[in-house]
Amino acid sequence: MASNPAIIKGTKDGLRIILDPEIPFGTIVSFLEEKFQANPGFFSGAVVTLEYGGRKLSREEQTEIQELIARNNLLLTETDDGRDEIPTMVKNNPGSDETLFLFRAVRSGQTVTYPGHIVVVGDVNPGSKLIAGGNIVVLGNLRGVAHAGAAGDEGAVVAAYRLQPTQLRIGDIISRPPDGPEEESHIPEVASIKDGFIVIEPYNANRSWQPDKKSV
């Protein structure tokens, strides 16, 4: 039974491209290129999640497929390969100022990656991950892992209505909540790097809050 080199599914959050784990990489690339060229109107501007389907792609292969997607005018927002490294897409686009808005909860097991900023209007549940080249803002409970400034920007910030991440990363610095009984935060808070440490401050709307950036 022949299987498709890649399956393209429509979901309410955009398209999901799932790569076949066995078929040779070159075949998959040609297949996708053909599909995108055949329907430019449909694919142009579409938001895409790329699933590697359990196959291990080399850096070159990852770059190739991500560039293929970008070239055809699609917007790649997530790569689901379950690995813990900084996704190529984020590394290759430092200083990106675009913002990704998600109007849904991010559930356990999901990873959202974006070279620019990420804004989630919803909760980020434990077991999920946000990786942004820029800032992260969660209008809800942030209970998963948030990594802002993933391409090395230590001026990035993480803000949430309820900041209760399992782990917080800004730039190359990792921080976790203190051991001991959980102190529930009931106010919005902002995390940023000050003097080489991740510091969490209450967000006070009256006080004009500025990131500790050299250039604004």
Three-state DSSP state, 56 = coil
Binding pattern for the stretch 130-149 against other proteins, x by CB under 8 A and - elsewhere: -----------x-x------
The correct pick among 116, 126, 171, 188 for binding other proteins (CB under 8 A) is 126
Exposure string for 20-45, b = 16+ CB within 10 A, e = fewer: beebebeebbebbeebbeeeeeebee
Shortest spacing between CB 202 and other proteins, in angstroms: 22
* Residue with smaller CB distance to other proteins, 124 or 191: 124
Which residues between 155 and 184 bind other proteins (CB under 8 A)? Answer: none
Q: What is the DSSP string of 86-118?
A: PPHHHHTSTT---EEEE-SPBPTT-EEEESSEE
18 forms part of the interface with other proteins (CB under 8 A): no
123 forms part of the interface with other proteins (CB under 8 A): yes
* Residue with smaller CB distance to other proteins, 72 or 110: 110
Type of residue numbered 121: V
Which candidate, 213, 199, 147, 95, places its Cα nearest to that of 138?
A: 147
124 secondary structure, DSSP code: B
Shortest spacing between CB 8 and other proteins, in angstroms: 14
* Residue with smaller CB distance to other proteins, 94 or 126: 126
Shortest spacing between CB 16 and other proteins, in angstroms: 7
Token pair 């990420």 is found at: 118
Which residues between 88 and 117 bind other proteins (CB under 8 A)? Answer: 105, 107-110
Number of other CB atoms surrounding residue 119 within 10 Å = 17
Residues that bind other proteins (CB under 8 A): 11, 16, 105, 107-110, 123, 125-127, 141, 143
